[in-house]
């Protein structure tokens, strides 16, 4: 019997071998051992084999790595070092695992999301049952194709912070807006701030879905208005919350300080030409801070004007008066109502007073009362990274106003 060929010593100079059948066979056999059931191989033996396989795969050609990946794709439990190596590999290698392996853990997917390519991340986004932590890692890169794939995947579940990150992305990626509006995780705090940069159709959808009544809150805390009044409204948190809930929108106390006898008189003056002083008076009389009023009056779409008028009990004609005062065209070339004004009037007709008040008060809450000096500084510097330091309305203000401060 002939003797087997001797194994060369470790210090033999490395020579690039031809495509050896032995290497292909060895890779296959090692993969086979890794795939053996627990009754045939124990955990230590599997780990030892996986370590050897990892070392061989580092120098294997793409075709060989693809074969091993396909072999491992149906394995119930893939050794950690091996799966991470293959998930970080070229997409042609990792595809088999990302598409076919149902047992990849969140830690492995997060590692792949943070260390591989955008196409890897997009393939992860298409998987069934993507968890919140994995989704958060995928959104971190801010890649619209990946986020779009996530939003189209109905089996993905998003955490609050992830939704907030995607809301911020919609400013530069309007294609994401209709997809995000369909998500069950979207909350009024997200929708109301996203309203400012959405188109007319999305705005209508936001108002129809999120302009909710506050009746249940009014019934729940109705007796507390008297209690807070007896205390002189000393607690600022209670005062802010009750101001959001109460039925009355107009600020009666502002009349005594105003040069106008009523909000209606201020609107009548505005139709002859909106000035900064008149805009501020309308804001005060409407129970708004001037910053909120400025955002409403400068909005190019005009729908916030309808919300303002409906919430404060003004007639339909007040929308036209403000439109005229802002020097916006009321008619088109044929003499018919201008399409933009017609759309805004339709919003006025569509929304109920109580629901319009919810929208208006949320804007006022998020765009003004949350504007602390620290937040103003963050907005000016574009610091949206440290969002955990801020409350929900503060983060909403950052999103809505960050670009306004940059102009």
pLDDT at residue 406 tops 90: no
Q: What is the DSSP letter of 10?
A: T
| Confidence tier at 344 by pLDDT (50, 70, 90) | very high
pLDDT at residue 217 tops 70: yes
Rounded Cα distance, 193 and 403, in Å: 13
pLDDT at residue 394 tops 70: no
Task: Provide the pLDDT for residue 124.
Answer: 95
Instruction: Give the number of other CB atoms < 10 A from CB of residue 328.
Output: 15
- Locus of tokens 């929308």: 319
Residue-wise pLDDT for 251-267, tens only, equals 888 888 999 999 999 99
- Residue 194 · residue 171 · CB < 8 Å: no
Task: Provide the pLDDT for residue 371.
Answer: 45
Residue-wise pLDDT for 99-156, tens only, equals 888 888 899 999 999 999 999 999 999 998 899 999 999 999 999 999 999 999 999 9
Task: Provide the pLDDT for residue 146.
Answer: 97
Task: Provide the pLDDT for residue 387.
Answer: 46
- Locus of tokens 């004007």: 305
Rounded Cα distance, 309 and 268, in Å: 13
pLDDT at residue 44 tops 80: no
For residue 208, how far is the Cα from the chain centroid? 20
Greater pLDDT, 361 or 315? 315
pLDDT at residue 74 tops 70: yes
Task: Provide the pLDDT for residue 178.
Answer: 95
Q: What is the pTM of this model?
A: 0.75
pLDDT at residue 290 tops 80: yes
pLDDT at residue 383 tops 70: no
Mean pLDDT of all residues in 232-254: 80
pLDDT at residue 314 tops 50: yes
Rounded Cα distance, 367 and 354, in Å: 20
Provide the percentage of residues in the chain whose pLDDT is more than 70.
Answer: 84
Q: Of the given ranges (89-103, 165-179, 366-380), which has the lowest mean pLDDT?
A: 366-380
At 337, give phi and psi (nearest 5°): -60, 130
Residue-wise pLDDT for 297-309, tens only, equals 999 999 999 999 9
For residue 151, how far is the Cα from the chain centroid? 10
Greater pLDDT, 214 or 327? 327
Helix (H, G, I), strand (E, B) or coil at 88: coil
Task: Provide the pLDDT for residue 391.
Answer: 60
Provide the percentage of residues in the chain whose pLDDT is more than 90.
Answer: 42
Task: Provide the pLDDT for residue 132.
Answer: 94
**What is the overall mean pLDDT for the chain?**
82
Task: Provide the pLDDT for residue 374.
Answer: 46
Residue-wise pLDDT for 144-195, tens only, equals 999 999 999 999 989 888 998 898 889 889 999 999 999 999 988 788 888 9
Mean pLDDT of all residues in 281-295: 90
- The 10 Å CB-count burial string (b at 16+, else e) for 360-393 is bbbbbbbbbbbbeeebeebbeeeebeebeebebb
């Amino acid at each position: 019997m002939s003797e087997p060929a001797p194994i060369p010593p470790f210090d033999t100079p490395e020579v690039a071998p031809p495509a050896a059948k032995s290497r292909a066979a060895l890779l296959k056999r090692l993969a086979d051992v890794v795939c053996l059931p627990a009754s045939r191989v124990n955990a230590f033996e599997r780990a030892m084999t996986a370590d050897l396989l990892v070392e061989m795969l580092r120098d294997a050609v793409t075709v060989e790595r693809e074969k091993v990946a396909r072999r491992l794709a149906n394995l119930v439990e893939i050794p950690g070092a091996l799966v991470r190596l293959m998930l970080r590999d070229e997409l042609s290698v990792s595809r088999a695992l990302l598409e076919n392996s149902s047992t990849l853990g969140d830690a492995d997917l997060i590692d792949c999301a943070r260390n591989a390519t955008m196409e890897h991340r997009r393939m992860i986004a298409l998987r069934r049952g993507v968890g919140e932590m994995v989704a958060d890692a995928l959104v971190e890169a801010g890649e619209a194709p990946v986020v779009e794939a996530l939003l189209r995947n109905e089996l993905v579940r998003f955490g609050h912070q992830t939704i907030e990150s995607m809301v911020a992305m919609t400013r530069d990626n309007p294609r994401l807006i209709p997809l995000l509006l369909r998500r069950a995780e979207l909350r009024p705090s997200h929708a109301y701030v996203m309203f400012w940069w959405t188109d007319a159709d999305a705005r209508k959808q936001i108002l129809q879905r999120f302009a909710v009544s506050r009746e249940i809150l009014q019934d729940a805390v109705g007796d507390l208005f008297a209690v807070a009044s007896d205390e002189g409204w000393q607690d600022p948190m209670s005062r802010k919350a009750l101001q959001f809930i109460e039925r009355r929108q107009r600020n009666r106390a502002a009349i005594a300080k105003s040069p106008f006898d009523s909000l209606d008189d201020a609107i009548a003056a505005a139709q002859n030409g909106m000035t900064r002083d008149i805009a501020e008076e309308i804001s005060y009389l409407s129970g708004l801070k001037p910053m909120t009023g400025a955002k409403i009056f400068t909005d190019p779409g005009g729908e916030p004007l309808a919300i303002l008028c409906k919430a404060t009990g003004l007639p339909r004609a007040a929308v036209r008066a403000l439109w005229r005062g802002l020097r916006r065209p009321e008619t088109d070339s044929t003499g018919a109502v201008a399409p933009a004004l017609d759309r805004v009037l339709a919003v006025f007709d569509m929304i109920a007073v109580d629901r319009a008040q919810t929208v208006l008060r949320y804007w006022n809450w998020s765009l003004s009362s949350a504007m602390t000096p620290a937040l103003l500084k963050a907005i000016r510097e574009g610091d949206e990274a440290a969002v955990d330091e801020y409350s929900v309305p503060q983060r909403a203000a950052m999103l809505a106003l960050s670009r306004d401060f940059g102009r």
